[in-house]
Structure 1
Amino acid sequence: MTSFITNNSPKGWAMDVQGIAPEAVIPQALILQCTTKGGEVQGDAPVVRVPRIKIIDAGFVPEGNDIPESDPELSEQLIKTGTVAELLKVSRDQLVQNSAASLISHEMRRSLIHKSDTAFLSQPAPTAPAEFPPGGLLSYATDAGPLTGDLDALVDAFAEIEALPGGVVTHVLAHPSAYATLRQIKKATGSNEALLGAGTQAGEKSILGVPVLTTNAMPSDKIMALDKNYIVSAYSNLELARSDDFYFNSISVALRASFRFGAGLLESEAAQVLTVS
């Protein structure tokens, strides 16, 4: 009896897959910009284990005395991953039209970026014992309260991040509406001068010297300050596949794209969420 394996099966049963580094295809995805990569993984069951160590503070030692041994605390951060994917059925006649292939490819990339950004930030955390799909950053971040009328609450949120060992605010994520509200804050009552100094020139988006990334993957009234060094991620290559045989009965082509990723927050204080009102 002939074995049923990929080597002797039609391409519809064993589609070719092209793996491309996501940095080259979707560099604007938030998980690439706002995290530190800790590893790669394939499959829902395996996890990336990021080792952590906390050492007791060093102290003064009198001359000639033995140095006391430290008793470090060892732990690990587990990063679960999930795959976002899409499958398109396109007639062969449609695909050969001018610019059709490039337009479809562009739209598939845009769709993957939107879905991965939304999952990275807003995916609800699974209820135990469920572990899939992994929760987004907003499920584990610190609620820094309201931001109204001035930037004092944001200054406090920055201080909370910088109080962590080696903490530094690397990014601020904001929904476009929330960022627009901040830009409308004036320096004084009756003034038309924006507190953020936008003036008539938009310039680079920033708050308190920190780059701002606006995304509709954030809730419309939220902004989040974060330290990417405390957010560890795992992601695979972006996989693109095409089969001219999968839809054999309709003379159509199958186009598939997939991206596996996940992220973990090492300290909840490293991501501070504020509600803009």
Structure 2
Amino acid sequence: MPATLLLDNGSSRPESTRALRRLARALAERSGRAVHPVSLLHADQVPAEALGGHGADTLEPWLRRALAAGRRDFLLIPLWFGPSRALTRFIPELTAQLRRERGPFELRCTPELCPLPDGEPRLTEILLGNIERAAAALGLAPRRLVLVDHGSPIPAVTAVRTWLAARLRERLGPGVVLDEAVMERRPGPDYDFNGDLLETVLHRLAAADPASPVLLPLLFLSPGRHAGPGGDLGAICARVESAVPGFRVYPTALVGAHPGLIDILAGRMTASARPAEASTSG
């Protein structure tokens, strides 16, 4: 049986690693298999004492230790919404390097969370559930929403947000306006496929109707520098609210906090047992 890794991008903030470990535990309980929480980068900067005395694992050192211990079969479950360069370049290049150094081994990578063109309808349900729960807690009917993601220089990654936004509009129905935005993007027309920056979209909505609140569905998995407490998203919302008295923005919960994510990840593990349905990195 392969060693199973649940892999995220990683963050220098401890709450991100804690969230990854919670997901790995839940997935292990669901599957009955050991699941190792591993980050691609950054997480090894977190002091071990901030993580209960156990420092975070990052991918290359983890694989090197496992190969040195004689492991030769790995299943990687990635926590990316779309085909990030981590999946299309970094991991294949690392795998090829380690094979040159250590000899042959198998590393299979399950699909990203929303592989297009078919997408992942269960992600739509997660986002919709987060919207409904936020609206209920606030006692309001959602009328203006902005689906926001981090932003990527890769059009195929932005296409995931667009796919999910289209399905959300279908489910939310008439009378609800759902915009899209990106937290950050590279300047210039070559990156216009990302759409408008969140700050720009919020200012536009505030100018049109400062009295009507905006719900902010977050296409983010874990708390960290961007989506965690005191993170970039909160700072953006606070700047716009400060500039427009009375205007309010209410973020929803993170995708990674929804129990439905475990259903998706468990499905990836089940499909990995059928080699024709799993991809190989490297």
TM-score range (shorter-chain normalised) is under 0.3
**Structure label with greater radius of gyration:** 1
Structure with a larger share of its residues in helix:
2
TM-score norm. by structure 1 comes to: 0.27
TM-score norm. by structure 2 comes to: 0.26
Structure with a larger share of its residues in strand:
1
The answer to which structure, 1 or 2, has the higher relative contact order (CA under 8 A, 6+ apart) is: 1
